[in-house]
Structure 1
Amino acid sequence: MRKVLCPRCRLNGSWIAQACAAALIGAIGANAWSQSVQPEGWAVKEAAIRFRVGLSGSPTHPSAGYFMVVPDGGLLPGPFPQATVVAGGKTIAAYVLWHSRQAGLGIVFESPGGSDAAVYVSGADRLRLWTPETKLTPSALVCAQPGVASLDSARALARLGQLTGSAHFRNNAGNARAPLCLQGDLTGRPPPTSFYMLAHVVVSDAGQTWIAPVIKGDTVEVRVDGRPLALQKKSDKFGGTGQALELSRGIHRIEILAAVGPGSDYTQDSVAVMTWKTPKDTPESLGGIYGKNSPYPGQPRQDSRVIAEREIVRSGDVRIREVNLRDGTPAACFTFEPRDVFWFEGETPSVVYSFAALTAGLPTNAVYSWNFGGKANPVGPKVHWFLEGLKEHSVTLTVSSGDRKSSCTLPVFAYSTAKSSLDNASTRESFRMACLSMIRSYPEDADP
């Protein structure tokens, strides 16, 4: 094994070798598997696959429903997947926002009023897309198309439906400083990127509302209830560029379309921050009053304020508990998350990822095989693995039971915001577990 040197901790290759050796000593052998289990209570005859889900993070408003990313990676039937949601013996309205084999199937469905549901997926001739006429108000969803920066691409995302390439989506309204904002690509993929954000807000006070998106360069278009804003500058103050609209009380739709070119830095500023001034905003809520010697004596310091957390409609979250294929074949489905970053001197950074197969409802004799490329052949329901940082990877899980098997292949862009240090016990444990997985999985004559 090559010696590596950590510039932070000055630990040399001998420590790494000791950690790997210690990990091997505690290795546990393969489990003994027993007989397979068939799915029960199949409610949608034509469906090929079922996801049993738990409902968490209740929607702020009933119309917001629940947003779910149904994993695909080769699992879902075609030519187009169609979701049917069943809860309490009743079928619940569900609609598609986006789909691709890589990103999965993004759906929104009505709140069932309980704590769990079953999502069945069948093959269909077309996607049953969400529209404002469905009366559901999903929020706040962001779809990104890496590799291209154009409003035409953003508008294509806004039309919903089928995606291409490494496009992906998530439920994310903003951050603590700006509760409703387009932050950028949170997967870590660098620009150029095109974005589309679908959000809904609550207007408590009807009347003229000054809507002022604070845009950090690049090309941005904002729509309110389907109509693009015609931005006009009235001052150099915060929120000084916007448009006044007459808004009724209730829920209104806000969409942000953006094209971010190469060289932009998402970590410094958001692409667009949504702000407004409502009929009941006061000088105090707008930052106070300017003094006599200021450019705007006696005026509020801001022309608008950030849209507050309480004013944003939010869809509920879904957690997958169990996956079943109708014919009893074990379903390959997995989750992953970044843990720590290791950047040794003279080498490219590596990110430790934890991968976990969803095992509930699968046959007890199921075998879990992972493919990260190369000669490695890791086996088991959970694996820790080093991935080269800031690079696209393809990860495949195959689950087999007897002569039946299924596979799922998902893209992973290796990126982490973790503050890793070999001074930290959890970081060292992360490193040890990844070393263990890789050493056990590679042939003896291969160098991981």
Structure 2
Amino acid sequence: MTGRDLVIRARRMVSADGEGAVAVVVHGDEIVGVEPFDAEVPGAEEVRLADDEVLLPGLVDSHVHVNDPGRAEWEGFPSATRAAVAGGVTTLVDMPLNSIPPTVDVPALEVKLAAAADRVYLDVGFWGGAVPGNLACLRPLHDAGVFGFKCFLLHSGVDEFGHLDTGQVEAAMRELATFDGLLIVHAEDHEAIAGAPACSGTDYRGFLDSRPGEAENRAVRTVVELARRTGCRVHILHVSSAGAVPIIAEARAGGVRVTAETCPHYLALVAEEIPDGATEYKCCPPIRERANRDRLWEALGEGVIDLVVSDHSPSTPDLKHLDTGDFGTAWGGISSLQLGLSVVWTEARARGFGLADVVRWMAQAPSELAGLRRKGRIAPGYDADLCVFAPEEEFVVAARNLYHRNAITPYDGRRLKGVVRRTWLRGAPVDLDAAPRGRLLVRGDD
């Protein structure tokens, strides 16, 4: 082997394809070989990892609200992508809402692409939205390169991104099935939420009661029944209710094309430990009780839940109502984009899971969901997106030191295991002090 650009030697590499001592050989943007550790690679620049470092594929986060343009004071492409890279993420897929305009037609997608151009530190793709009145826009958005379509079954939190009723969801599924598009669903039932006790004040239990698990379970039943009827591919976002797990398992066993994700906060945090007034913990669906969390971990181990992604949904401090601690009026969203790998690893290792499991949940499976055929693995033919991780190193989270635009996170002060020391994007080290060099991704363009 001659003339290669880079060889990275790691005593321990963990990928979906195995684990071992390897020399990863990179030519340009691409991995061209995974060789034995001592393989000779003449002419290549050599990087040798420290003994306490593990080489991982760059993570793929398919659930991120960047909010840019329109609400860039909440977050923005430069700050979000810096935070992602610092957390070992090398590809993210941006959600269609909270930006203005929302990504619900091709002109709005073009606005989003212009806002992101030359401002991203990693590779970024985009979801489209399915909202009332845009059925005719779905195919053009698909052809323009979005990776799928997000819908809500209840108010989304922002008025410009409307939610679908059951008939509209079915119509969207039938349209997407004509070109094998993917519908990703915020699954909480509108009527169940409307019938729950209203939430106000600082009591976290009151907020939890206002978003009952049965609302999520009922919505998941509706989605899988419509998917069974239409043949559409569907994905259940941010599963928080353990009661949804057997519904998903049964549907999949019956041939429904359904996948599911959960998030670090549902795997690490529990309702019993959330202080009253701590609105930095508010998200929708909510963080539930300890026994529920344990069942979500079982579902990950069983493969019923396929992936773990951040659902990074930041806001400005005033919208979190930190001064009043009112869960009824505070914005619902967790800021964790930079911390996901460390949070999940800290919890996973305590439950007997290994780094290979974490890589499957946070790199391989999200890339497969979005159809990113060159991401999420360390293997020949894949982009040389790589993460150097020190799994035994500990740190204490300081929100003020994170790259997120606003220093709010429920993990502030929490001790975590695992530190990301550096990343490569398509064969080049990422320098967060240099000009960004990420690419904008479109479906099928790999």
Give me the TM-score of the superposition, normalised by structure 2.
0.23
Higher relative helix content: 2
Higher relative strand content: 1
The structure having more radius of gyration, on CA atoms, is 1
